[in-house]
Structure 1
Amino acid sequence: MQPVYIGMDIGGTHIRVLKNQTRTVLKTADFQDFMDVIDLLVQPSIPTHIVCALAGPIDHEGGVSPPNIKKWGRVDPKKIEKKFPQVKIRFINDLVAHAHGLEHAEQKDLHLLKKGSMPDGKKILLIAPGTGLGVAFKDHAHVYPSEAGHIDCPAYGQEGEKVYQNMLKKYGHHIQRSTPNLGAWKEGFADR
């Protein structure tokens, strides 16, 4: 029996799946938990190797809690391997995975934020706005994960203060908002 290879990029809105060279996009909201995704993709008794890229810190022993999919709670690899003994599963931070893949990206897939030159051209900051905000840093061959998308940032200057005040009026004391189209940020700039 030929083994099955599955790669997944799990986001707060979509789950992009590559299963034996076949691409599929699923809606994250359609699944009550991660085990529902596994039940859909894994066939009993067929050896299966899975790599999942998802947001948040990765803990292979204690499990993973994707910060952008609260209803899933903790994803436990041991629980998956207990139900499906033929499955081997590994997790990687999504932006770490993307940073490792940058050398294979085509120029058309990249967006230059600011022209300039670097002394050695080997330092890269990867920013991925989606349901959350993913960030990773690559220095030569070393990739460093970040939880920059899950930290508070202060308002900066008069313009930043106006955005903050507009959002504070709308959302209350603590502003923690994530939208697929960054609509909240547009609202914050409305009265500039």
Structure 2
Amino acid sequence: MDLSTAGVLLAGDIGATKTTLGLFAPSGAVPGPPLRQQTYRNAEAACFDELLRSFLDSNGLQPVSACFGVAGPVIENTVHMTNLNWVVDGPGLQTRFGWQRVVLVNDLVATAMGVPHLASTDVRVINQGKRRKGSAVAVLAPGSGLGEAFLVFPEGRVFACASEGGHASFGPRNDEQMELLSFLQQHHAHVSVEMVCSGMAVPELFTFLAERMQVPLWLQQELAEAADKTPVIVQAALAARRGEAVCDIAVHTLRLLTDILADEAANLALKTLALGGVYIGGGFAARVEPFLEPQRFMRIFCRGRYQAMLGDIPVALITNPQTALVGAAACAIQAASDDPAHPGRLPDKDTFSASA
């Protein structure tokens, strides 16, 4: 097949810190493996166009259409990114690159669209549960920020709904978290869930706990030299968990964060009635995977009047870092079908990995 003339689709996952781009051959309703793929650090480019031109020049293939999952709300096919000073303009990209179509979706919409294409090896099951066929599926992803979205299935089709739920207000669930909220309100007019449940949250959670717990001298020194404190705290917590160091405050920082994540996952499940499952994605979630302990997570997740119903919901951690890219490719295929009455199709095998 001559890929230069075969209607190649371009897909992208544009996050706050890195961007992954991939070229896909059109293959019905389900994206195949990428023909070409490359990941870039956003700090190395002044704007998205710069990364895009570098990728296309290095591959020599000209796509006919594109879909990008972007970290931020999509308004009139344009995104002013939430945690990065970039503007991604769909109509402008279409004109500048001469493509037939450019579709922008929220990055969590792209992740959600990738969920039906996950294999059992692409997830780690937190709760086996019992998936209700045709019910909504919720997706949340703590990365640099906190993204949320959900899938619905009208008439057997799949449709991803965007959300900015990560910017909703943080609701504490115990005395410690109420003290955390009070602490953060001294410095912020509004305390969102993202501010306590993402990579960006780690330093402030640590600072809050440092008023109550001892910070080892070696960790004080490492933090003083670090431009980005989050990876230092995360590595200290992981080393302590492996028994390679003693660092109660770093461990407590990640436990506090993942406890809040479990509570927010339940909130999203209730608000979307996600009886089809809850999926946790995001690069930060993968980094702190050892702290996502099934029993502890589900003890927090299952609460309130619908405790039994929540206990039946499948919950899984997405371990495949390409899920959003595959989902963006699925959105590109969907857009290329030119059939707005049918937003997408499920894979032939109607199973979801959290309950497989």
| DSSP 3-state at the match of 2:137 | strand
In structure 1, the residue matched to 2:225 is: none
- 1:167–1:184 contact (8 Å) kept in structure 2: no
2:13–2:19 contact (8 Å) kept in structure 1: yes
CA distance in 2, matches of 1:88, 1:49: 5
The aligned counterpart of 1:90 is 103
Work out the CA distance in 1 between the residues paired with 2:61 and 2:130: 53
Alignment of 1:23-172 (within 5 A): 23-43=37-57, 46-61=62-77, 63-69=78-84, 71-72=85-86, 74-86=87-99, 88-117=101-130, 119-120=132-133, 122-140=135-153, 141-168=158-185, 172=187
Q: 1-side partners of 2:100 and 2:47: how far apart?
A: 18
Q: Secondary structure at the match of 2:79?
A: coil
User: Would the aligned equivalents of 2:145 and 2:200 in 1 still touch at CA under 8 Å?
Assistant: no
1: CA distance, partners of 2:52 / 2:132: 45
Deviation (angstroms), 1:11:
0.5
Q: Give the direction of change, closer, same or farther, for the CA distance of 1:113–1:145 in structure 2 (3 Å limit).
A: farther
Q: Which has the larger helix fraction? A: 2
Are 1:77 and 1:89, in contact at CA under 8 Å, matched by a contact in 2?
Answer: yes
RMSD of the TM alignment (CA)?
3.0
Q: 1:145: Cα distance to partner?
A: 1.4
C-alpha distance in 1 between matches for 2:74 and 2:17: 20
Give me the whole-angstrom Cα distance separating, in 2, the residues matched to 1:13 and 1:167: 24
Q: How far is the alpha carbon of 1:65 from its aligned partner?
A: 1.4
* Residue aligning to 2:18: 14
Shift of 1:8: 0.6
| CA deviation profile, 1:93-119 (whole Å, cap 9, x unmatched) | 221222222121022322444453355
Distance 1:153-1:104 versus aligned 2 partners, 3 A rule: same
Distance 1:105 1:157, change over 3 A: same
Distance between the aligned counterparts of 1:13 and 1:45, measured in 2? Answer: 26
Deviations 1:12-67 (A, max 9, x none): 11111113512211001212222222332345994542211112222345x22121
Distance 1:90 1:78 in 2: 9
Consecutive unaligned residues in structure 1, runs of 5 or more: none
More strand per residue: 1 or 2?
1
Return the alpha-carbon distance in structure 2 between the equivalents of residues 118 and 189 of structure 1.
38
Identity %: 23
**Structure 1 89/139 Cα, relative in aligned 2: closer, same or farther at 3 Å?**
closer
Aligned position for 2:318: none
Q: Which has the higher contact order (CA 8 A, sep 6+)?
A: 2
